[in-house]
């Protein structure tokens, strides 16, 4: 998600190398030897921060000591805009990209860093951001519209781990994760039982798997609810801590927001266009990408 935004800002003025690909869990990711070489050679390293990439912190520190520019984009967001990590009151929830409005401010952090290294590119960076912001604002408005079409009582999002706190704040959903903010500690039997009780009591119709988290926990919830006479569906797979495959629509940040909003709204009884935001966008006559050959 960080790489996608950096690419949008930098455009043709630089080369962006993304270390973590689709399906990778950043909480657990260990840098490879080739990653470390790239980190030490880069002009600037952008990462999320707030302890998301816990096992890479050391290599970023080493790069900084070696004179590389290192920029933790989410740590530049004012603290009063961050959510607390409930399990660790002295830490913040790192999953800021789940709220497109908060994530928008990261563009400016990237821009500042780029201008510092390449002052002549300032106009281009600003122009790139202007273009990207139009799309980002449009997908955010779409997500708000379809998620608000979910009946009020059904606005509960149950997922494998606590990645959706900012999503919940932005779009008015109650969010419950089986595992905590990080995927480092597994859910206990007690966690599963508590969440099963909630599913049964609130008659929650669908829960969601995440592309970066094993499905085991979600299956345990479905079986537990079934044993108590409540049928829960898998509402679909959401992209929480990684985007979809490179080259696919959900492999972009805009596509990820589109996919998540559409999947959640559809599974919980909201109104969604068949192909999500993308389909509505492609049918807009004023879309410049349509008129180009």
From the centroid of its chain, how far is CA 192? 24
For tokens 């099963």, the residue is: 196
CB of 73 to Zn ion, least distance (A): 16
For tokens 């969601």, the residue is: 208
CB of 94 to Zn ion, least distance (A): 7
Stretch that binds Zn ion, among 172-180, 216-224, 238-246, 270-278 (CB under 5 A): 238-246
Q: Which is nearer to Zn ion, 53 or 113 (CB)?
A: 53
- Using CB under 5 A as the binding rule, whether residue 221 contacts Zn ion is answered as no
- Using CB under 5 A as the binding rule, whether residue 163 contacts Zn ion is answered as yes
Residues in the chain: 293
Q: Name residues contacting Zn ion, limited to 54-83 (CB under 5 A).
A: none
- Taking CA atoms, 43 is separated from 18, 37, 128, in Å, by 14, 12, 20
CB 98 within 8 A of CB 170: yes
CB of 167 to Zn ion, least distance (A): 12
CB of 117 to Zn ion, least distance (A): 30
Tokens of 39: 């980190």
Q: What are phi and psi of 156, to 5 degrees?
A: -125, 125
65-69 own/partner pairs: CB under 8 Å, 24+ apart: 66/40, 68/39, 68/40, 68/42, 68/43, 68/44, 69/43, 69/44, 69/45, 69/113, 69/116, 69/117
Q: What is the Cα–Cα distance from 97 to 240, expressed in whole angstroms? A: 9
Stretch that binds Zn ion, among 69-77, 165-173, 239-247, 281-289 (CB under 5 A): 239-247
- Using CB under 5 A as the binding rule, whether residue 93 contacts Zn ion is answered as no
| Count of chain residues binding Zn ion (CB under 5 A) | 2
Q: Name residues contacting Zn ion, limited to 244-283 (CB under 5 A).
A: none
CB of 85 to Zn ion, least distance (A): 11
Stretch that binds Zn ion, among 12-20, 120-128, 129-137, 161-169 (CB under 5 A): 161-169
From the centroid of its chain, how far is CA 130? 21
Q: Which is nearer to Zn ion, 97 or 125 (CB)?
A: 97
- Taking CA atoms, 274 is separated from 23, 136, 142, in Å, by 25, 20, 13
Q: Which is nearer to Zn ion, 45 or 96 (CB)?
A: 96
Q: Which is nearer to Zn ion, 74 or 150 (CB)?
A: 74
Which listed residue (4, 53, 99, 241) binds Zn ion by CB under 5 A? 241
Interacting residues with Zn ion (CB under 5 A): 163, 241
């Amino acid at each position: 998600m960080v790489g996608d935004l950096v690419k949008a800002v930098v455009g043709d003025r630089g080369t962006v190398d993304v270390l973590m690909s689709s399906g990778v869990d950043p909480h657990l990711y260990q840098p490879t030897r080739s990653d470390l070489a790239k980190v030490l050679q880069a002009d600037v390293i952008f990462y999320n921060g707030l302890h998301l990439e816990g096992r890479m912190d050391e290599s970023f520190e080493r790069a900084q000591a070696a004179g590389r520019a290192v920029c933790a984009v989410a740590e530049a967001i004012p603290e009063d805009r961050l959510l607390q990590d409930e399990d660790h009151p002295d830490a913040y929830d790192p999953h800021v990209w789940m709220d497109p409005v908060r994530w928008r401010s990261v563009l400016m952090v990237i821009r500042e860093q780029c201008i510092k290294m390449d002052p002549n590119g300032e106009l281009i960076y600003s122009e790139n951001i202007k273009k990207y912001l139009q799309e980002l604002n449009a997908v955010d408005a779409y997500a708000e519209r379809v998620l608000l079409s979910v009946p009020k009582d059904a606005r509960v999002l149950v997922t494998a781990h606590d990645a959706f706190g900012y999503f919940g704040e932005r779009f008015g959903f109650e969010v419950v994760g089986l595992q905590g903010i990080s995927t480092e500690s597994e859910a206990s039997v007690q966690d599963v039982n508590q969440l099963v009780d909630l599913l049964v009591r609130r008659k929650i119709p669908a829960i969601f798997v995440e592309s970066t988290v094993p499905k085991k926990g979600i299956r345990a919830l479905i079986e537990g609810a079934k044993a108590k006479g409540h049928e829960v569906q898998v509402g679909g797979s959401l992209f929480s801590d990684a985007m979809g495959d490179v080259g696919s629509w959900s492999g972009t940040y805009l596509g990820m927001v589109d996919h998540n909003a559409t999947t959640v709204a559809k599974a919980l009884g909201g109104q969604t266009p068949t192909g999500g935001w993308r389909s509505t966008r492609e049918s807009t006559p004023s879309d410049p990408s349509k008129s180009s050959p």
